[in-house]
Structure 1
Amino acid sequence: MLRRLRRWVRQFFTRTRSINKQPLNPVSLIVIILIDIFILVNVFNGLNDISNWVLSPNEAYPCYEQWRTYRENTSPDKNIQQLETILSEDYTLPTYSPNSPPPPRAQDQFQQTSRGRLGTVSSTCLAFGTAKDKVDTPANQTIKKAIDQKQTAIGNLENSNRNIRAQYDSTLLEKIAGQNRDQSINAVGAEKAKAQLDSNNEKIAQLRSEIKKLESDLLAKPESAELFKVLANNDAFTEVERGYKQASFWYPTIQLSLQALFLVPLLIGAGLVYRFAERKRYGLIALISWHLLIIFFIPLILKIFEFLQVGALFQFLFSIISRLFGGLVFLVSYTYILLIPIAGFILIKVFQKINVRSKASPSSLVQQSRCLNCTRTLKHNESYCPHCGHHQHQECHNCHQPTYKQLPYCRNCGADQESVS
């Protein structure tokens, strides 16, 4: 087994850096490496583009995360927080003509993601986007801006209070100690500091009262009530959650399928070109096509391993183990450690049988001292195979010496054997 592996590695590197079994010179080797890098970069770019062709779960259900966050929020102010979040969102929109009114911003962003791509945006999320657009009006933006300004003013007053309170404590100690006011290190006296604190607290209380009034006005708007009606719809949220989880389960599988759709034609094309070039002895074409085969296999293998870590199989095992063993998610790794070697063992057995059934070319069998019929190893140039009894030689029509069957030229005189009927 080890000898076979070493022979395979040696053949691999021989094919990678030689033309017709002649080694490449350093300059040619650099050129072929640069070509490999260039093609590999473009292969990964193509894989990235085609994997983004299908909508991701977050793009197909863009309202799910925000909706779930709202439902899990236990704060009594979650409604006003939701409105402030919507009014703070920034959408990137295309440029429209002055004569035509711009479409709703959130809904337009949701719909733009599906243009020219596979999949559709959830109709429930589109309705959610419409409700958000109705809230995001200039009048409500003005209220939000007024709330922000008052919150900023409260923050400035509270910072001022902290500074004054620090000086107030110091001046109060100085006063108790009987220290002269002219010798104080503080710019404000205790009485003046207390008066300033009281004034600032009154302003803060007034600003908070004004903020409460503005928030109540914002919550009382009909568009706000419509939005919260949508958010309180349990059936709609359950539908979105189910669709999101189902999309998350299948998304890695769909991505791998699209990436394989991109890579398989390249692999087949490079393989056919390599076999043709090997048969016709076009050394340079065989070298380049061999490198292409390697380059196309590298991302395919990486994507398969990536799929095994996040794909449907992983999600299936994760859900089963989570249900059976709770938080012992590390058992998924144990399961993989058990399953992957078993799967590899089965694949090796299958490919070994396929390799035996698909007989190699006569020239390669002769070079490897193998039987032309059963491909078993021959020793000491045996004329008859000890495994199947097949005769390996035939008589040359020109020199009448024994030469290998199925090879085009005589090994003794070089006469063409295929021209004889």
Structure 2
Amino acid sequence: MFAGIRRISSRFFNQSRTINNEPLNKVSLIVIILIDIFILINVFTGLDDISRWHISPTETYPCYSEWQNYRTKTAPDKDYEIVRLSSPYYNSNNQLSFQQNYQRAEVGHLGKVSKTCLQYANYKDKVNNPEKQQIIKTIDQKQAKISMLVQANNTIKSQYDSTLLEKIAGQGREQSINQVGAEKAKQVLEQNNRQISTLKQESSTLKNELLAKPESISFIAFLKNENQFKELDKGYQKASFWYPSIQLAFQSLFLLPLILIALSVHKFAQRRGYGLISLISWHLLVIFFIPLIVKIFEFLQIGAIFKFIFEIISALLGGLLFLINYVYILLIPIIGFVIIQFFQKFVFNAKVQAASRVQKSRCVNCAKKIRQLDTYCPHCGYYQYIECQNCHNLTYKHLSYCKHCGTSQNSSNL
């Protein structure tokens, strides 16, 4: 197998650096490499663009994360917080509704936004109106005042001990570094606490008023509907499972026409003897295969099949997720071995190639056109024949049987 790999590597580099079996000069080689780099960058850019052609799970289900966060929160004010997010007075200049913002993901892309999320956005749009925005703005102002008073109290408390020490030491008030004396500290603290209590009560009243609105009640009831969320969660998980496979399919759709065109041009140039075109098309073929291989390996890390394996191992092994790396280490070499064996036996198999080339009167080594009576290839100097062990006549190398007596040549071709 390693001998086959070395042979393939040697042919690959020889084909990448020669024109009609003559070495490419350094300037031309640099130009070819620069072209390769430029094309490779554009290919990866195109792959990145086409991978976003189908909308992602987060775009298909834009309400999922917000809804999930609401469900997992245990704070007593979570109903108010979700309503507050649905009526952002600070973004009142935005002319698009929540529903329109969700649907923007569909423009110029494949896929549709979840109907459940559009329904969710419809509830948010009903909540979002100037009246509720004003209530939320008032609540925020009161919360800001409460924060200022709490900070002021903390400052007074931190200075209270030092003012007591100053008083015990007999130090005059005019020499104190603190803004509030010990005598007034308690009075100011009580006054601030009363104000904080009043502001909290007013905020609580406004929150209850906001949540008592019919639109808010309907929205909260929708959020607490278990069946709706289960349907949403099922759809999101399914979309996340298949999205890497969809991306790979679109990326392959982008690359395969380029590979087929480059391969066709390369074969045509070889048949006609157009050395430079053959070289450039060969480089293009390699350049187009590199991203395809990279994307396949990316898919193997996060694709549907390996994600399925990941979930099985996670269920069986619990927290021992590092063992998944052992699975990758085992499977990737096996997959690589299968690919190499496939190319060795079917794509770059010397006997298969020789049979096709002999039928077309081509060199069994370099595939260039030769005459039937040529013993050596005039292009690469390769000797075309081997002596039959049975009749001792010359027969083609790498073919299974002698063309004179029909004896198997497998042992002599090894």
1:294 corresponds to? 286
The yes-or-no answer on 1:34 pairing with 2:34 is yes
2:337 corresponds to? 345
Q: Given the alignment, which residue of 130, 134, 149 partners 1:142? A: 134
Higher mean C-alpha displacement, 222-231 vs 162-171:
162-171
CA contact (8 A) 2:259 2:289 kept: yes
The yes-or-no answer on 1:281 pairing with 2:273 is yes
Alignment TM-score, normalising by the size of structure 1: 0.82
CA contact (8 A) 1:91 1:106 kept: no
Q: Given the alignment, which residue of 111, 118, 128 partners 2:110? A: 118
Aligned letter for 2:395? Q
Give the Cα–Cα distance (whole angstroms) in 1 for the partners of residues 262 and 89 of structure 2. Answer: 49
2:300 corresponds to? 308
Q: Given the alignment, which residue of 316, 338, 342 partners 1:324? A: 316
Question: How many residues are matched?
Answer: 377
Q: Deviations over 1:51-72 (max 9, x none)?
A: 1111111111111111111111
The yes-or-no answer on 1:365 pairing with 2:359 is no
Give the Cα–Cα distance (whole angstroms) in 2 for the partners of residues 50 and 288 of structure 1. Answer: 25
The yes-or-no answer on 1:215 pairing with 2:207 is yes
| Structure 1 segments unaligned to the other structure (5+ residues) | 95-101, 373-378, 394-404, 406-421
In the TM superposition, what is the alpha-carbon distance from 1:269 to its structure 2 partner? 0.7
In the TM superposition, what is the alpha-carbon distance from 1:201 to its structure 2 partner? 1.6
Give the 5 Å matches for 1:67-106: 67-88=67-88, 105-106=97-98
Q: Deviations over 1:223-261 (max 9, x none)?
A: 100101110111111111001101111110011011001
Alignment TM-score, normalising by the size of structure 2: 0.84
Give the Cα–Cα distance (whole angstroms) in 1 for the partners of residues 20 and 186 of structure 2. Answer: 96
Q: Deviations over 1:325-369 (max 9, x none)?
A: 22222222222222222333333333333143632434442569x
SS in 1 for 2:177: coil
Same amino acid, percent of matched pairs: 52
Change (3 A) 1:199 1:26: same
1:43 corresponds to? 43
Q: Given the alignment, which residue of 171, 176, 188 partners 1:179? A: 171
CA contact (8 A) 2:127 2:216 kept: yes
| Structure 2 segments unaligned to the other structure (5+ residues) | 373-381, 397-402, 404-414
Change (3 A) 1:364 1:89: farther
Give the 5 Å matches for 1:232-247: 232-247=224-239
Give the Cα–Cα distance (whole angstroms) in 2 for the partners of residues 271 and 381 of structure 1. Answer: 26
In the TM superposition, what is the alpha-carbon distance from 1:387 to its structure 2 partner? 9.0
Give the Cα–Cα distance (whole angstroms) in 2 for the partners of residues 74 and 388 of structure 1. Answer: 90
In the TM superposition, what is the alpha-carbon distance from 1:310 to its structure 2 partner? 0.5
CA contact (8 A) 1:277 1:286 kept: yes
1:412 corresponds to? none
CA contact (8 A) 1:93 1:109 kept: no
Aligned letter for 1:73? K
Give the Cα–Cα distance (whole angstroms) in 1 for the partners of residues 391 and 331 of structure 2. Answer: 38
Change (3 A) 1:2 1:93: farther
